[in-house]
Chains A and B, each alone.
Chain A
Amino acid sequence: MESVCLSLFLKAHINLMHWAGLGLVGISPVQSLVWECFAAVGLFAGNLSPFPANSTPFLSPSLLVASFPANFSRLPFLLPLNLTWSDGQSAMASNGHSSPFGQATPNGNSNSSQTPRRSSRRRTNNSNSSPASSPFPLETPPSRPAGVASTPTTSRRRGTRHNPNATPSTPLSTDDAVPPYSSDRDENDNMETDGQDDTTPVFVWGTNISVQEVNGAILRFLRHFRDARSASESSEAADLMSEGKYMRVVHRIMELEGAESLDIDAHDVFEYDPDLYNKMVRYPLEVLAIFDIVLMDLVARIDPLFEKHIQTRIHNLKSTVCMRNLNPSDIEKMVSIKGMIIRCSSIIPELKEAIFRCLVCGFYSDPVLVDRGRINEPTRCLREECKAMNSMSLVHNRCRFADKQIVKLQETPDEIPEGGTPHTVSVLMHDKLVDAGKPGDRVEITGIYRAMSVRVGPSQRTVKSIFKTYIDCLHLKKTDKSRLQIDDSVNHDANNNAANHEEDDASLYHDKIEKLKELSKLPDIYDRLTRSLAPNIWELDDVKRGLLCQLFGGNALKLGSSGASLRGDINILLVGDPGTSKSQLLQYMHKLSPRGIYTSGRGSSAVGLTAYVTKDPETGETVLESGALVLSDRGVCCIDEFDKMSDNARSMLHEVMEQQTVSIAKAGIIASLNARTSVLACANPSESRYNPRLSVIDNIHLPPTLLSRFDLIYLILDKADEQTDRRLAKHIVSLFFQNPDNSVQEVLDLTTLVAYISYAKKHIHPVLSDEAAEELTRQYVQMRQRGNTPGSRKKVITATARQIESLIRLSEALARMRFSQVVEVGDVAEAFRLLEVALQQSATDHSTGTIDMDLIMTGISASERTRRENILAATQNLVMEKLVTGGPAARALELLEDLKKQSSMEVHLSDLKIALSTLASEGLVVFHGDTIKRI
């Protein structure tokens, strides 16, 4: 009987020590016993001290690394600041009389003042006197004749740890009979309810938490929780997998010796037992302590020899708090916040256990535990023979240390209200979490919000009334950096992941998605989207439509057998006169697109766009750094002043724009990086104003090979046209006369537009319908035939295979805009219209007025080619006439004069020179500077 009570008591103490990291205060007959067990079990909870005890010299880091063994304590719950011993005592004494703890009671200002709270959490109902004299509830160990139900586990664990081979002292017959994890529900429930029936429930002081109840709830959760999804998938195998989700995880952890923590999804807890979830969030310290103990019990049952302590790490709370909304009522609660790490401290070694050596006789002391941030240095040697005074010195190598780190977390830009500056919060990381995040990472942290008092100075007793706050980190998750979640449409695994994600967030985003879907059903959604894109840029509707298609994009296709892939991204080039708001369009697109990168051609180098290799200055390792195109993978790369880009840089784009990869081979790194990016470039004509008499190629001086990779090329020309002038005037006047109330309602705001696009990109993968495919073929054939007008001898290519790819992409994008899974005939028609508008502008042969793809493919139109042929023939005739083989040379200018006389068309010297060089290559003439000789 006595031992049972004791063990129960011990359990309470073990966990409170474990949690609060407290030493023992006060004098109690049982205390020494407790202490012994405590030490033996190895639940050493230390404290870090801001003011290291004078006896503890600071330690050089080199000594620390090796001496950090697996640690049993749950460090996150240790307060980093401690009062001195005397402070603690006085605080405790004054707190000794029981005063009710409100549920929202803020944290104590020191460790020690929390002691009574924890220590008396096993206060029973029948304890008629509150522990006024002693902080420990010693006087009423609950009388439990059949207390076997829950206690033996503790003692067994203790036993195994203490002496694995020894038989536990308490009778364990009932428990032994139960197979370690034959999670027979009834039996367990019986067992759990037994405990409750037999004893009066034990409450954590100041809360409505009954320890047994929570204990039972956690046990049930761990044993029986099954993932609804995985369970439904394998309903047949459910019998075989009699273990719950977390039991499997526990087994896995035990198999892999390395793991030390069990990640528990708070959503699972909520799903299984909302009450437990609420308790856990409101009283995390208490509930997590029980959680750990239950887990230890569980592990001990499975494998009594398992030595490691598994920590519970809760993550994925149901709601995250905004950093600036943390307020005093959140203190001591479990919170989950998102932010960006801006600063990490160096790893702070925290002394857990010190060993001293006598300088006189060399005697090593027993490990001395950190007690409230201090080590009590023995003043004299403990050896009977020696007993030298003040001879003990710390042996660094034999001390035990734990890792700790303080991280500053800052709000991310999206959470900062206008006109505010980001808030920061300190986060305390322990053990495994140290260095889990680096400055610049966006993370989601689950932890306990805590406050500690600020002391005025080390020598002063007065404590400022101000509290510093920090978060004890339980779990850290890195969140995606990108503004939008972009799914990987090439990779199907990623697709599944995205679907999972979607399910998780379903409850949150369900309404939003419904709204988007409603929007998509509007008959004028296409026009509405067009209007919403850069509403302040007036006109240019067709250009905007093209850009919209680019944002939505087509489907990327992977041809299974050959491994080749067809890009789904649409590339657009805008060419136009200065001052036609091209750059503004680009800026807007950059804002809209996920992972948009904006560069200027003039300032971009080839490596800056693709990737480059650098040497890390510290380690000397070669590092691959991504350039703009790689960084905008799955986004839009906006390149302003495309024409000013160096040829070298531009040539790098060839690969990117068709193969969608960037290959580099240098400095020992051969890599091919994905650059599935849509390129949106804009260029000014080379003579600053577009010369309509010249071809696009001549106007912008871009190689045709590159030009042909653009799906749509728009010419934005500043044409003299009263209609457009009037519209411009109207636009400007309306800007000034804008009434806030009559602003256009039908325009989607930026965030909605972004959400709309990202949803469409993620979830809509339209397929060509049969009719649409037919229409596509028909129109394409028609388009090609347009070049071969009957009666005309010359062959004009009006469309190429690249165009049909573009058309498919465009019509897919158009279907996506409607959230339609099928590409319909209408989409194809619109795609043709868009392409034609673009071609009419860029690929029209100005001498004939027809579309000629050769203009873009080679830079020379068919009519130009016939003209050249004519001149060549004329020149050849002239040369045959005028020059004799080996005779005197003729001057080019003379020839030109003759040619002009002969032929009806206008001939330039450059034309003649082209013709002559062709003749020279045929071996007819020799052509030196200005003189021509016939051979």
Chain B
Amino acid sequence: MGGPQYDLLMNPLGAVRQTFEKAVASSQPSGLDPTAVYRGKDWGIVDVLNQFLFSQGGLAQVPILDASSLKWIKPNTLVRFRGMVQDMLGNEFYIGAFKDGCTWRTNKFLDFSPFSVPPVSETTLWERHLFHCVPVPGQNSWAIESTPYPLKINISNEMTCQHGEKRRRDDDPDGISDFDCCDEGSSSSNKKQKDCGSASHHKIAEITNGSSFPTKSFSCLVKVYDMPESQFKLNEVVEFIGIYTFDPELTTSDRSDNVDDNMSMFDFMDDVATHLPPSKVPRIHCLVSQKLSTQDLISNSPACEPLPNVIRGIRDSLVSYLSCTLGNDVIAAQCLLLHLLSKLRVKSDVASVGRLSLNLTGFTQESASIFGKQLNNAIKTLLPYSHTIPLTIEYLNTAMLQPKKDNESGRLLMGALQLASGTHLTLDETVMQSGTLNSKGVENVLLLKHLMEHQIVEYDFQFYKLEMATEVQCLIISEAKSNILPADLVVPVCPSAVAPVSASEEQLHAWRWYLTTVRSLPYSTDTSICEMLQNEMVEAMRKDRSLGCSDLSRWMTMAQLMAASFGEKSFSVEHWQMVKEIERLRKERL
């Protein structure tokens, strides 16, 4: 199944051991201390794996670890996990290599040592980094890759020997299927968890209320080797390929020592990992990792290059689809397209260039229920990550939007605004009623406003706030222009007909490809039209004194996006005129 000499899929640890022994053996003649040579370094296992995965097509055979596959994946096998780095838990020191008798052994890619612990003198400490990863929040179903079905059968057939353990885990179905990504106790009735997780129970309840993410997701503790921690950033989407470990012995004894002793100090000395029991949070010892961009999520992209006429064709069909969604309103559809293509390009201290948040107005409660739903569905099917927040007074007053560090447990609690870059955020203001915001509500509104204006979310670290750059497109649906959340572009929607929206799978695929490709196109600058633009602007300002800095930069952004939507890298007079026309029509509606 695997490579010539190793069964990497089912017994990756064997391969780890063998390659290590081989490497040690080869280094012995040179008289070097193997532990020193291989500290923080790969001894060949990664190469072997890379070859297997990418040259021999092994990647497709590696099962993807998710909430459902967790039940049948065998421990100590190779798995794949796609997730967002939700929290960085720092580094961990472990006995990397030790001498057992006269042979060197390694504990790399293992939770604990299978051999008895040798005396200090014969061990060396190595370092690995811990990342707490969750499935990308708001990931739409089409973007989730799952293990091909036949493989499941294959593996579960081999699982018979695993029965005992499987049963044990099946005993607490809540624990796995309903496990919320941001808690460790959940509302599960699991007895074992109850007594150890009770301390943090009330906190969890709060989070579960606040988070509007589906609670079926689970999380993963990924241990990453041989790289600086700065390799990954918070909220990045990464694919990890590594060894899934699960040890029932570890689990049964997990934290039981903490239950009876009331010494607060041991909470202190505990590393955060103990708050994530292995029975709920699977461990992955990462061998190979790769950052994922949205493009990677579009499987088997059409083989066409971004040719102008192809792009134009896709663009036209997409605009008509979007206008259908919005009740045959082409102007709004055009604006929506520009919005979907927007991306923060340049960010300096004060100004940010390239974002285009959109406020679609003119929705009443009724029309919002029709078009809003259609719009949401359209966005869901088009973009990989999207998230909708209903802006009600109650929601704002109670929800935890801000990610917050809980210093008691040492964990970063996920707020609704901890989003992977490239997520689309829809804020539905039509459901807003008049009422009083409490202090939390005000804070949440400010947070949203800050996100829209600067593309920054402040994370609360109790004693200080840390600003994290995010890249989130914000769409606001409201009755009239939203004053709470000032968007760059305000477009009143004038639906004329309610048409059933439909699109074929190929069309959807083409559109997805179009959106991600166009968004990632580089911009180039054509300075030849600078002069023309300046004249146009001066002229416009003379006509309309109310024009400000923000209007002018919006025009520039739109023109640039317009050009991009046709697959062009820099914009021309033509695009500028199109934007001006849209702006004129838009102004008429205001």
Which A positions have Cβ atoms within 8 angstroms of B?
50-52, 58, 80-81, 91, 94-95, 99-101, 105-109, 113-114, 324, 327-328, 331, 340, 342-343, 345-346, 348, 404, 406, 408, 410, 412-413, 416-424, 426, 439-440, 451, 453, 455-460, 462-470, 534-538, 579, 581, 584, 587-588, 591, 718, 720, 722, 725-726, 728-730, 732-733, 735-739, 750
Q: Known: A420-B229, A732-B537. Contact between A345 and B120, CB under 8 A?
A: no
Within 8 A of A (CB), among B92-140: 92-95, 107, 110-113, 116-127
Instruction: Identify 7 new A-B residue pairs, CB closer than 8 A, beyond the known A114-B120, A466-B92, A467-B93.
Output: A50-B269, A108-B119, A328-B39, A406-B268, A458-B256, A464-B112, A588-B349
Contacting residues, chain A, for B270 (C-beta < 8 A)? 468
Within 8 A of A (CB), among B528-587: 530, 533-535, 537-538, 541-542, 545, 548-550, 552-553, 556-557, 560
- Do B351 and A51 have beta carbons less than 8 Å apart? no
- Do A345 and B264 have beta carbons less than 8 Å apart? yes
B250 contacts partner chain A, Cβ-Cβ < 8 Å? yes
- Do A439 and B463 have beta carbons less than 8 Å apart? yes
- Do A328 and B127 have beta carbons less than 8 Å apart? yes
Q: List 9 A-B contacts (CB under 8 A).
A: A101-B121, A422-B461, A462-B113, A467-B92, A467-B125, A725-B542, A729-B534, A729-B537, A735-B346
Bound form: Cα–Cα A459–B407 in Å: 30
- Do B121 and A735 have beta carbons less than 8 Å apart? no
B21 contacts partner chain A, Cβ-Cβ < 8 Å? no
Contacting residues, chain A, for B91 (C-beta < 8 A)? 324, 327, 423
Partner of B269, one of A468, A584, A729: A468
Which of B51-59, B298-306, B464-472 interfaces with chain A?
Answer: B464-472
Q: Known: A419-B234, A462-B112. Contact between A587 and B350, CB under 8 A?
A: yes
Partner of B116, one of A458, A462, A464: A462
The residue in chain A whose Cβ has the minimal distance to the Cβ of B552 is A732
Q: Known: A728-B537, A728-B549. Contact between A465 and B107, CB under 8 A?
A: yes
Bound form: Cα–Cα A413–B410 in Å: 16
Contacting residues, chain A, for B545 (C-beta < 8 A)? 718, 720
Bound form: Cα–Cα A725–B537 in Å: 8
Partner of A51, one of B107, B124, B257, B538: B257
- Do A106 and B124 have beta carbons less than 8 Å apart? yes
Bound form: Cα–Cα A924–B49 in Å: 106
Q: Known: A421-B234, A467-B94, A588-B349. Contact between A733 and B410, CB under 8 A?
A: no
- Do A408 and B407 have beta carbons less than 8 Å apart? yes
Contacting residues, chain A, for B408 (C-beta < 8 A)? 343
Least CB distance from A682 to B in Å reads 15
Partner of A736, one of B230, B548, B560: B560
Which B positions have Cβ atoms within 8 angstroms of A?
39, 87-88, 90-95, 107, 110-113, 116-127, 229-230, 233-236, 249-250, 253-254, 256-257, 261-271, 346, 348-351, 353, 405, 407-408, 410, 412, 459, 461-464, 466, 468-469, 525, 527, 530, 533-535, 537-538, 541-542, 545, 548-550, 552-553, 556-557, 560
- Do A99 and B125 have beta carbons less than 8 Å apart? no
- Do B350 and A537 have beta carbons less than 8 Å apart? yes
Least CB distance from B371 to A in Å reads 32
The residue in chain B whose Cβ has the minimal distance to the Cβ of A584 is B350
Contacting residues, chain A, for B93 (C-beta < 8 A)? 106, 328, 331, 451, 466-467, 469
Contacting residues, chain B, for A348 (C-beta < 8 A)? 263-265
Q: Known: A343-B407, A406-B269, A420-B234. Contact between A534 and B350, CB under 8 A?
A: yes
Partner of B253, one of A345, A416, A460: A460
- Do A737 and B121 have beta carbons less than 8 Å apart? no
Partner of B525, one of A420, A453, A737: A737
Bound form: Cα–Cα A460–B250 in Å: 10
Q: Which 8 A-B pairs have the closest CB atoms?
A: A419-B233, A457-B253, A729-B537, A108-B120, A328-B125, A406-B268, A467-B93, A106-B125
- Do A343 and B268 have beta carbons less than 8 Å apart? yes
The residue in chain B whose Cβ has the minimal distance to the Cβ of A740 is B346
The residue in chain B whose Cβ has the minimal distance to the Cβ of A406 is B268
Q: Known: A406-B269, A440-B463. Contact between A51 and B407, CB under 8 A?
A: no
- Do A453 and B117 have beta carbons less than 8 Å apart? yes
Bound form: Cα–Cα A705–B553 in Å: 41
- Do B117 and A58 have beta carbons less than 8 Å apart? no
- Do A95 and B120 have beta carbons less than 8 Å apart? yes
Bound form: Cα–Cα A467–B348 in Å: 42
By DSSP majority rule, is chain B's interface helix, strand, loop, or mixed?
mixed
- Do A50 and B553 have beta carbons less than 8 Å apart? no
Least CB distance from B440 to A in Å reads 16
- Do B113 and A750 have beta carbons less than 8 Å apart? no
Q: Known: A342-B463, A420-B88, A466-B94. Contact between A737 and B257, CB under 8 A?
A: no
Partner of A106, one of B119, B123, B264, B534: B123
The residue in chain B whose Cβ has the minimal distance to the Cβ of A417 is B230
Least CB distance from B135 to A in Å reads 19
Contacting residues, chain A, for B125 (C-beta < 8 A)? 106, 328, 331, 451, 467
Contacting residues, chain A, for B530 (C-beta < 8 A)? 733, 737
Bound form: Cα–Cα A99–B348 in Å: 58
- Do A726 and B234 have beta carbons less than 8 Å apart? no
Q: Known: A58-B262, A95-B121. Contact between A423 and B90, CB under 8 A?
A: yes
From A101, A108, A456, name the one whose CB has the most chain B CB atoms within 10 angstroms: A456
Least CB distance from B40 to A in Å reads 9
Bound form: Cα–Cα A80–B468 in Å: 37
Partner of B464, one of A58, A413, A581: A413
Contacting residues, chain B, for A417 (C-beta < 8 A)? 230
Partner of A725, one of B88, B117, B541: B541
Bound form: Cα–Cα A898–B461 in Å: 72
- Do B350 and A579 have beta carbons less than 8 Å apart? no
Least CB distance from A468 to B in Å reads 6
Least CB distance from B428 to A in Å reads 28
Least CB distance from A75 to B in Å reads 14
Contacting residues, chain A, for B466 (C-beta < 8 A)? 413, 416, 421-422
Bound form: Cα–Cα A404–B261 in Å: 17
- Do A328 and B126 have beta carbons less than 8 Å apart? yes
Contacting residues, chain B, for A579 (C-beta < 8 A)? 548-550
Bound form: Cα–Cα A916–B229 in Å: 80
Least CB distance from A658 to B in Å reads 32
Contacting residues, chain B, for A420 (C-beta < 8 A)? 88, 229-230, 233-234
The residue in chain A whose Cβ has the minimal distance to the Cβ of B274 is A454
Contacting residues, chain B, for A107 (C-beta < 8 A)? 120
Contacting residues, chain A, for B118 (C-beta < 8 A)? 94
Partner of A113, one of B120, B350, B552, B557: B120
- Do A51 and B537 have beta carbons less than 8 Å apart? no
Bound form: Cα–Cα A279–B538 in Å: 71
Q: Known: A728-B552, A730-B534. Contact between A464 and B113, CB under 8 A?
A: yes
- Do A91 and B119 have beta carbons less than 8 Å apart? yes
Bound form: Cα–Cα A534–B266 in Å: 49
Contacting residues, chain A, for B110 (C-beta < 8 A)? 465
The residue in chain A whose Cβ has the minimal distance to the Cβ of B95 is A465
Contacting residues, chain B, for A457 (C-beta < 8 A)? 253-254, 256-257
Q: Known: A106-B120, A466-B94. Contact between A327 and B127, CB under 8 A?
A: yes
Least CB distance from A558 to B in Å reads 35
- Do A421 and B94 have beta carbons less than 8 Å apart? no
Q: Known: A80-B269, A466-B112. Contact between A342 and B533, CB under 8 A?
A: no
Partner of B353, one of A58, A340, A416, A736: A736
Q: Known: A106-B124, A733-B556. Contact between A456 and B253, CB under 8 A?
A: yes
Contacting residues, chain A, for B116 (C-beta < 8 A)? 462
Least CB distance from A748 to B in Å reads 12
Contacting residues, chain B, for A421 (C-beta < 8 A)? 87-88, 234, 405, 412, 459, 466
Bound form: Cα–Cα A397–B261 in Å: 22
- Do A459 and B552 have beta carbons less than 8 Å apart? no
Contacting residues, chain A, for B254 (C-beta < 8 A)? 457
Bound form: Cα–Cα A464–B113 in Å: 6
From B112, B230, B269, B459, name the one whose CB has the most chain A CB atoms within 10 angstroms: B269
- Do B233 and A588 have beta carbons less than 8 Å apart? no
